[in-house]
Amino acid sequence: MLDETDWDVTLDEENPLEPAGLDRELLDMRAGEEKDFVLSWPAEGQSVYAGRQAQFHVKVNSVQSYEKPPLDDALAQLVGPDYTTLEDLKQAVRESLLEDEGKRAQGRYLDKVLDALVETSALDYPPAVIEDQLDAMMQDMDQRLRQFGLDGMNALLRQTKQSEDQYRDQMRPDAIKIAERNLVLSEVIKQEAIEATQEDIEQRIKQTVGADENGEISESSAELAEVLRYGAGRNMIVSQVLTDKAIALLQALARGEEPPSFTTESGAETLASTETEGAESPTAEVDDATEVTDDSEVVAGDSEVAEDAQ
Q: What is the pLDDT of residues 178-219, one digit of tens each?
A: 999 999 999 999 999 999 999 999 999 999 998 888 888 888
pLDDT of residue 10: 84
Looking only at the bridges linking them, the beta strands covering 298-300 and 303-305 are: antiparallel
Residue 168 lies in a domain: yes
User: What predicted TM-score, i.e. pTM, was given to this entire model?
Assistant: 0.60
Residue 81 lies in a domain: no
- Number of folded domains in the chain? 2
Query: At residue 18, does pLDDT exceed 60?
Result: yes
Structural domain including 137 reads: 122-191
Query: At residue 266, does pLDDT exceed 70?
Result: no
Identity of residue 150: L
Residue 56 lies in a domain: yes
Left (φ > 0), alpha (ψ -120 to 50) or beta: where does 259 sit?
A: beta
Left (φ > 0), alpha (ψ -120 to 50) or beta: where does 300 sit?
A: beta
Query: At residue 295, does pLDDT exceed 60?
Result: no
Is residue 168 within 8 A of residue 138, CB to CB? The reply is yes
Residue 20 lies in a domain: yes
Residues 166, 168, 172, 178, Cα dihedral to 10°: 160
pLDDT 10s digits, 43-92: 877 677 788 888 889 999 998 888 888 999 999 999 999 999 999 999 99
- When comparing pLDDT for 277 and 209, which is higher? 209
